[in-house]
A and B are shown apart, each in its own frame.
Chain A
């Protein structure tokens, strides 16, 4: 069922990662992703992957959940691996079969890319697994708050994001409900050509729109009743404070960057032979 998607969902816990300041988590995730792409050889890459693995073990998120988050990108993984294997040439030739040539460099780049993508997915999943969507938007809001000088309504944007996150599951349920109701009236959603299928979506789309507008209208009322008048004068229950653990993590990440730079210099790049 669509309801069961795990990518981008929060896994409750009390680990180091859960307790980190979301702002620091956002910055460091972004930072590590950059470092990941700066890494030019297996040693550097493995350093980043290793730190990601350690973080993942510290997060108390079950490894099964982590694997689940990789599943959706499996096709992309296979596709990029295949592209790399067949199109990158250089070094010793492992296999030659007509036009199909598999070389050492091809295999290396393929493995390199796979590790890189998997690490990337694990890193970003770690962020969403250990941070509630609310904390995430709050963190983003505060990181972006300097933009207020440019008259960008950061708090309004953050509110919109929170509401979107809040209503996604509700709307998914709604779609399922409407689909069942129309199927019960004999609506055929599975057969026919593209145009027929697009047409068959009207009985689902129209009620969904109508109900979404009704929800938006009611939500606006409810928010007014709870004295929401925009961002000015709002306080927050959950305060964000950088603590020692955040700075330790920052230090670790800086160390990783230093390590990657050193390893890059020492072992060179696998992309140029």
Chain B
């Protein structure tokens, strides 16, 4: 079985051939298997936006290849077009892309572009609204009458309705309040579990990343700096900090304890796990 997404020796330069040539991403190699849930982190300007714009062919690599489900997306016009549907890209603040006069029509925009029959479009719209938590009574409303959080769900449903094999979220919870964040994280988790499709999350929020993904890819200075499990990556907190990134607060607490000489693990990234480890250490005396 071919991987869901494979990036081989990818290099992208802006303004190539001029003295102003800048490589936004250099010689990147990534393989993402089907069904994985992966996080991509990196500070603004690290090259991660350039990287994800290659996943569905919005940018053409200067060098290297992008394979979606084993097919080179730049091998033919057909392959490029298909990549848009196989890899769903949900940009930051996706609610700003809404344009139709009803929620239903807006969610149907993607499937319609896929030239699907109308009953299939309908099925997908209903299915996607359910996955994204868009209530049925909202479907006939104008998307512009909804609240901010609802708009975002509609926009996400619009991507889900294409039933992509890989779904990429760029800063999905930007600007949301804590509950909005929690709800959206749960939604993404449920989507991944239910559809079994590959999910990639780009985020600045290390807490969100820690809660959601199994594997983290770190982009720094236009290159892949780390690629490993969540605990592997977060245990290298000093390196992450030198890249202008932070670690979850809880990871930081453990890193400091370790630095003070306590024998605590460094791979802690959720509060519950951290509390458990500490309870072990403290014996039965503290905590229940």
**Are A and B in contact, CB atoms below 8 Å, in the complex?**
yes
* B-binding residues in A (CB < 8 A): 4, 177-178, 180-188, 202-203, 205-207, 210-211
When each residue 81-97 of chain B gets 1 if its CB lies under 8 Å from chain A and 0 otherwise, what string results?
10011001111001011
Q: List 23 A-B contacts (CB under 8 A).
A: A177-B91, A181-B94, A181-B96, A181-B97, A182-B97, A183-B58, A184-B58, A184-B84, A184-B90, A185-B159, A186-B85, A186-B110, A186-B113, A187-B109, A188-B113, A203-B99, A203-B109, A205-B99, A206-B99, A207-B96, A207-B98, A210-B96, A210-B144
Minimum distance in angstroms from A101 CB to a CB of chain B: 42
Whether a CB of chain A sits under 8 angstroms from the CB of B158 is yes
Whether a CB of chain A sits under 8 angstroms from the CB of B246 is no
Residues A180 and B98 in contact, CB atoms below 8 Å apart: no
Minimum distance in angstroms from A232 CB to a CB of chain B: 37
Measured in the bound complex, the distance between the Cα atoms of B56 and A6 in whole Å is 31
Residues B91 and A180 in contact, CB atoms below 8 Å apart: yes
Which chain A residues lie closer than 8 Å to B94 at the CB level? 181
Residues B109 and A180 in contact, CB atoms below 8 Å apart: no
Minimum distance in angstroms from B201 CB to a CB of chain A: 16
When each residue 140-174 of chain B gets 1 if its CB lies under 8 Å from chain A and 0 otherwise, what string results?
00001000000000000011001000000000000
Residues A178 and B85 in contact, CB atoms below 8 Å apart: no
Which of A184, A188, A202 counts the most chain B CB atoms within 10 A? Answer: A184
Residues B162 and A207 in contact, CB atoms below 8 Å apart: no
Residues A183 and B84 in contact, CB atoms below 8 Å apart: yes
Whether a CB of chain A sits under 8 angstroms from the CB of B114 is yes
| Contact residue among B97, B110, B159 (Cβ-Cβ distance under 8 Å from A207) | B97
Residues A185 and B110 in contact, CB atoms below 8 Å apart: yes
Measured in the bound complex, the distance between the Cα atoms of B81 and A176 in whole Å is 19
Known contacts A203-B109, A210-B144; is A184 also within 8 Å of B91 by CB? yes
Whether a CB of chain A sits under 8 angstroms from the CB of B231 is no
Which chain B residues lie closer than 8 Å to A203 at the CB level? 97, 99, 109
Which chain B residues lie closer than 8 Å to A202 at the CB level? 99
Whether a CB of chain A sits under 8 angstroms from the CB of B9 is no
Measured in the bound complex, the distance between the Cα atoms of B98 and A82 in whole Å is 48
Measured in the bound complex, the distance between the Cα atoms of B96 and A181 in whole Å is 9
Which chain A residues lie closer than 8 Å to B205 at the CB level? none
Which of B94, B96, B109 counts the most chain A CB atoms within 10 A? Answer: B96
Residues B162 and A178 in contact, CB atoms below 8 Å apart: no
Residues A184 and B99 in contact, CB atoms below 8 Å apart: no
Which chain A residues lie closer than 8 Å to B84 at the CB level? 183-186
Measured in the bound complex, the distance between the Cα atoms of B102 and A206 in whole Å is 13
Measured in the bound complex, the distance between the Cα atoms of B53 and A186 in whole Å is 14
Which 6 A-B residue pairs are closest in the complex by CB-CB distance?
A: A186-B113, A206-B99, A181-B97, A184-B89, A185-B110, A203-B99
Known contacts A185-B159, A203-B99, A206-B99; is A180 also within 8 Å of B58 by CB? yes
Residues B144 and A185 in contact, CB atoms below 8 Å apart: no
Measured in the bound complex, the distance between the Cα atoms of B94 and A177 in whole Å is 10
Name which residue of chain B comes closest to A184, CB basis: B89
Minimum distance in angstroms from B158 CB to a CB of chain A: 6
Which chain A residues lie closer than 8 Å to B159 at the CB level? 184-185
Which of A186, A188, A205 counts the most chain B CB atoms within 10 A? Answer: A186
Residues B56 and A184 in contact, CB atoms below 8 Å apart: yes
Name which residue of chain B comes closest to A203, CB basis: B99
Question: Besides the contacts A182-B97, A186-B162, A211-B96, what 10 more A-B pairs have beta carbons closer than 8 Å?
Answer: A4-B15, A184-B88, A184-B90, A184-B91, A184-B159, A186-B84, A203-B97, A203-B99, A206-B99, A210-B99
Minimum distance in angstroms from B78 CB to a CB of chain A: 13
